[in-house]
Amino acid sequence: MTDTLPTRTAAFEARIKQRYRSEQRFKALGLTAVLFSVAVLLFLLGTMLLNGAGGFQRAELRVPIDFTQGSVSVDAATLAQPDALQRLQAQGLPELVQFSAATELGEPGAEELSAEAWREVGSAIIADPGLLQRKATFDLPASSNLAAALAGEGKPELHGLAQTLSSEGKLAERFDPGFLTRSDATDPQAVGIWGALKGSMLTMLVTLLLAFPIGVLAALYLEEYAPKNRWTDLIEVSINNLAAVPSIIFGLLGLAVFLWLFPNMRSAPLIGGMTLALMTMPVIVISGRNAIKAVPPSIRDGALAIGASPVQVVFHHVLPLALPGMLTGTIIGMARALGETAPLLMIGMRAFVATPPDSLTAPATVLPVQIFLWSDEIDRGFVERTSAAIIVLLVFLLVMNGLAIYLRNRFEKTW
């Protein structure tokens, strides 16, 4: 009976082989899908890093200036005034800078000095009035045309000049710390992200101050006290829906409601923060409820058993235990708000803002909007600057997400 019915016929073997091959193919397909996604991510990050590395640099001309020769003589008291730069301009600082550049670089080279270069000299004088008594060497921004020529692009007639100056060591790409401390400008050589970064921080501050307390309190109410009736159902449904509403709709809401209430606060961090808070609040409520759910009932029962009131149970026992989980959700929600652009475009935060905002109601822009505005510029220099700003934004997001992961691991408890 043993050998009469051969089960492993040739056809059977072939079918098995075929099935194993298809198994292998399927597995390879899955791996390809994952690797493709990772590859796109790497390509994206790589493009930004390659472009952005140049964005932290700028083409600078080395110009020695002998202040003792010029007619610029301003005392220290004047320099302490807020309009010191205008005074220096009236004293002929731009001309002195231009003259020094012409002596050092020759007329054609001096013409390619950025028109705003004297401002940097002026700021240096304001920071150190003693400069006016001596000779000093400055690294001043070149015009964007010369910067493009140095990179081998742009106007061909400038290529020769750029090469001569650079071989003499008078023109070079140098790391530009000012990129992190200046604000928006029309010239890619003169822009910085500090204004946008400050606007982002102020906006995030408003968002956090509004969304966190409201979100946590709403989560506590819904999870701990809410009776099960039509009203609380309505609240639940609207929170879940709000979490999935496209962000641009929140921009329309901000435009129609907040700007109608406060018409002269266009592009203020306050309005932006309020709009983003409405968007972030549902995220915080949903994650907060999960954190509260994870607190075991025995803790509540124990507290109730020794005579605590329901409010005491929640605020003394449940909330402290659920807070780390809530914080994780809050950080993730804030990270999303930090990268959000569309709703802020709606409420007018796409204005050109050249000074960092100094209050919650001053016109401001935020980092993602700044990236969007720069991406519209045609100048080649802005491509690098945009990528550099993107790197800064991504670093912030990575830090926030990293913090959320750390908090999750640090406070993760199994009861």
155-214 binders of another protein (CB under 8 A): 213-214
Q: Using CB under 8 A, which residues numbered 357 to 376 contact another protein?
A: 358-359, 362, 368-369, 371-372, 375
Residue with smaller CB distance to another protein, 201 or 235: 235
Residue 222 within binding range of another protein, rule CB under 8 A: yes
**Burial classification of residue 237, based on how many CB atoms lie within 10 Å of its CB (0-12 exposed, 13-18 middle, 19 or more buried):** exposed
Per-residue interface string for the shown chain with another protein, residues 22-61, x marking contact by CB under 8 A: xx--xx-xxxxxx-xxx-xx-xx--xx--x----------
Q: Hey, what amino acid is at 273? A: G
Residue 81 within binding range of another protein, rule CB under 8 A: no
Residue 15 within binding range of another protein, rule CB under 8 A: no
Residue with smaller CB distance to another protein, 102 or 345: 345
Q: Using CB under 8 A, which residues numbered 247 to 266 contact another protein?
A: 247-250, 252-253, 255-257, 261, 264
Residue with smaller CB distance to another protein, 44 or 134: 44
Sign of the torsion formed by the C-alpha atoms of 399, 402, 406 and 407: positive
**Contact region for another protein (CB under 8 A) — 4-12, 57-65, 175-183, 275-283?**
275-283
Q: How far is the CB of 139 from another protein (least distance, A)?
A: 29
Q: How far is the CB of 178 from another protein (least distance, A)?
A: 23
**Contact region for another protein (CB under 8 A) — 99-107, 181-189, 195-203, 391-399?**
391-399
For residues 153 and 379, what is the distance between their CA atoms, to the nearest angstrom?
A: 11
Residue with smaller CB distance to another protein, 89 or 103: 89
User: Which one among 12, 14, 20, 296 touches another protein, defined by CB under 8 A?
Assistant: 20
User: Which one among 300, 350, 380, 408 touches another protein, defined by CB under 8 A?
Assistant: 350
Q: How far is the CB of 45 from another protein (least distance, A)?
A: 9
For residues 411 and 415, what is the distance between their CA atoms, to the nearest angstrom?
A: 12
Residue 12 within binding range of another protein, rule CB under 8 A: no
Residue with smaller CB distance to another protein, 67 or 179: 179
Q: Give yes or no for a contact between 189 and 58, defined as CB atoms under 8 angstroms apart.
A: yes
- Could you tell me the two tokens for 167? 């071989």
Residue 306 within binding range of another protein, rule CB under 8 A: no
The DSSP result for 4-70, as a single string, is SS-SS-HHHHHHHHHHHHHHHHHHHHHHHHHHHHHHHHHHHHHHHHHHHHHHTEEEEEEEEEETTTS
Give whole-number Cα distances, 389 to 181, 290, 377, 392, in Å.
12, 35, 14, 5
For residues 84 and 122, what is the distance between their CA atoms, to the nearest angstrom?
A: 8
Q: Is 24 left (phi over 0), alpha (psi -120 to 50) or beta?
A: alpha
Under rule CB under 8 A, how many of the chain's residues touch another protein?
90
Residue with smaller CB distance to another protein, 73 or 359: 359
Residue 226 within binding range of another protein, rule CB under 8 A: yes
Residue with smaller CB distance to another protein, 19 or 155: 19
Residue 271 within binding range of another protein, rule CB under 8 A: no
Residue with smaller CB distance to another protein, 257 or 294: 257
**For the packed helices 194-220 and 269-293, what is the interaxial angle rounded to 10 degrees?**
40
Residue 403 within binding range of another protein, rule CB under 8 A: no
User: Which one among 82, 152, 169, 307 touches another protein, defined by CB under 8 A?
Assistant: 82
Q: What stretch of H or E contains 292?
A: helix 269-293
Instruction: Look at the block and give the residue holding tokens 């000093």.
Output: 136
For residues 44 and 49, what is the distance between their CA atoms, to the nearest angstrom?
A: 9
Q: Hey, what amino acid is at 13? A: E
